[in-house]
């Protein structure tokens, strides 16, 4: 699976394009639909994955909603730990509230990757002081994620990717 990062909006949100065999999944279409569409190129978009519904992560979602063949995956229509298959993509949904009530992580086990939104950042975590945020839920979510393989690559909603091992060793919020 090829992963492209498209940085969008004034908050520099990471929109991810997962590309495989001429098809694509879009993770968190933050803003600037034209920029995202250009990076998609000729790949057929099968679905859009939403890690949480904060404005900086869904600004271009409305552009994808006009296409009936595109399925939207978000907490309200996903079951935790169930495996989903769309085209050649297989992933699981992990509920990871703390930053927001609807925060979820998308785990692509075969590719050893997680798309984590604003849950964990390199050496930090997402804010819990916004409406719907919770320190208690954040700690429970962190404990849940710590059970996954340490070499799992984490793709956050902002900044650079990291690994679970790096965060275990360097992130004071994960110790």
- State the pLDDT at residue 17: 98
Place of tokens 């909006």: 9
Per-domain residue ranges of the chain = 2-174
Chain segment 71-85, per-residue pLDDT in tens: 999 999 999 999 999
Burial 135-155 (b: 16+ CB within 10 A, else e): eebbeebbeebeebeeebbbb
Identify which of 28, 128, 19, 11 has the alpha carbon closest to the alpha carbon of residue 74: 28
Give the DSSP letter string of 93-138. Answer: EEE--SSSTT-EEEEEGGGTEEEEETSEETTEE--SSSTT--HHHH
Cα separation, 49 vs 151, whole angstroms: 23
- State the pLDDT at residue 68: 74
Q: Does 137 score more than 80 pLDDT?
A: yes
For range 100-129, the mean pLDDT? 97
- Residue 26, Ramachandran bin (φ over 0: left; ψ between -120 and 50: alpha; else beta): beta
The pLDDT > 90 percentage for the chain reads 95
Confidence grade of residue 23 (pLDDT, cut at 50, 70, 90): very high
The CATH architecture annotation of domain 2-174 reads 4-Layer Sandwich (3.60)
Confidence grade of residue 66 (pLDDT, cut at 50, 70, 90): confident
- State the pLDDT at residue 175: 82
- State the pLDDT at residue 65: 85
Q: Does 69 score more than 90 pLDDT?
A: no
Mean pLDDT of the chain: 95
- The neighbouring-strand residues paired with 58 are none
Confidence grade of residue 144 (pLDDT, cut at 50, 70, 90): very high
């Amino acid at each position: 699976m090829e992963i492209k990062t498209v940085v969008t909006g004034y908050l520099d949100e990471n929109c991810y394009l997962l590309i495989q065999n001429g098809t694509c999944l879009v993770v968190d279409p933050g803003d600037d639909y034209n920029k995202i569409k250009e990076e998609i190129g000729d790949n057929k978009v099968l679905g859009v994955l939403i890690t949480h519904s904060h404005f900086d992560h869904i600004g271009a979602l409305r552009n994808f909603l006009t296409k009936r063949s595109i399925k939207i995956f978000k907490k309200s229509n996903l079951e935790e730990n169930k495996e989903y298959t769309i085209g050649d993509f297989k992933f699981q949904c992990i509920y990871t509230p703390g930053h927001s009530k609807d925060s979820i992580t998308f785990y692509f086990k075969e590719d050893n990757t997680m798309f984590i939104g604003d849950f964990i950042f390199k050496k930090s975590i997402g804010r819990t002081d916004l409406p719907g945020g919770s320190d208690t839920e954040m700690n429970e979510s962190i404990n849940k994620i710590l059970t996954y393989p340490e070499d799992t690559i984490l793709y956050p909603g902002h900044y650079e990717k990291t690994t679970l091992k790096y965060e275990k060793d360097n992130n004071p919020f994960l110790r």
